[in-house]
């Protein structure tokens, strides 16, 4: 499964979103609890302009891996992109609480300064 996930991630990074999407969906059909596949599919969907669907997938990744600062930060950023600042703000606060010195923690602090 790790090899397929790496392949899907590579496809996504190279802009081959349709291929990446199909592979992530195949991975999730076999392992619906794989947070990294939900996260990758969410980013793929975001790059395809399907923001609401991307948000649902990224949120699923956070549900499966609630201690992932990166995943939570990404969900908060997508809420911000969609203009849902009320939902994003407590997420950014939680990201900072998780580790204020990490890249995500630092970026979340910057986002909070806008509120």
Positions of CATH 1.25.40 in the chain: 1-54
pLDDT, position 51: 96
Residue 9: pLDDT over 80: yes
pTM: 0.93
Mean pLDDT of 64-68: 97
- Encode pLDDT of 18-57 as tens digits: 999 999 999 999 999 999 999 999 999 999 999 999 999 9
Q: Which CB contacts under 8 angstroms, 24+ apart, belong to 12-20?
A: 12/40, 12/43, 12/44, 12/47, 15/47, 17/44, 17/47, 17/48, 20/44
CATH for the 1-54 domain, from 3.10.580, 1.10.287, 3.20.20, 1.25.40: 1.25.40
Residue 1: pLDDT over 80: no
pLDDT, position 101: 97
Cβ atoms of 95 and 105 closer than 8 Å: yes
């Amino acid at each position: 499964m790790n090899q397929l996930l790496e392949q899907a991630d590579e496809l996504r990074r190279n802009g081959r979103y349709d291929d990446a999407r199909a592979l992530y969906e195949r991975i999730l059909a076999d392992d619906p609890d794989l947070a990294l596949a939900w996260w990758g599919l969410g980013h793929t969907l975001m790059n395809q302009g399907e923001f609401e669907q991307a948000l649902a997938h990224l949120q699923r990744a956070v549900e499966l891996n609630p201690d992932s600062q990166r995943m939570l930060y990404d969900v908060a950023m997508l809420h911000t992109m969609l203009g849902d600042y009320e939902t994003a703000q407590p997420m950014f606060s939680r990201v900072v609480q998780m580790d204020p010195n990490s890249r995500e923690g630092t970026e979340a602090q910057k986002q909070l300064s806008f509120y």
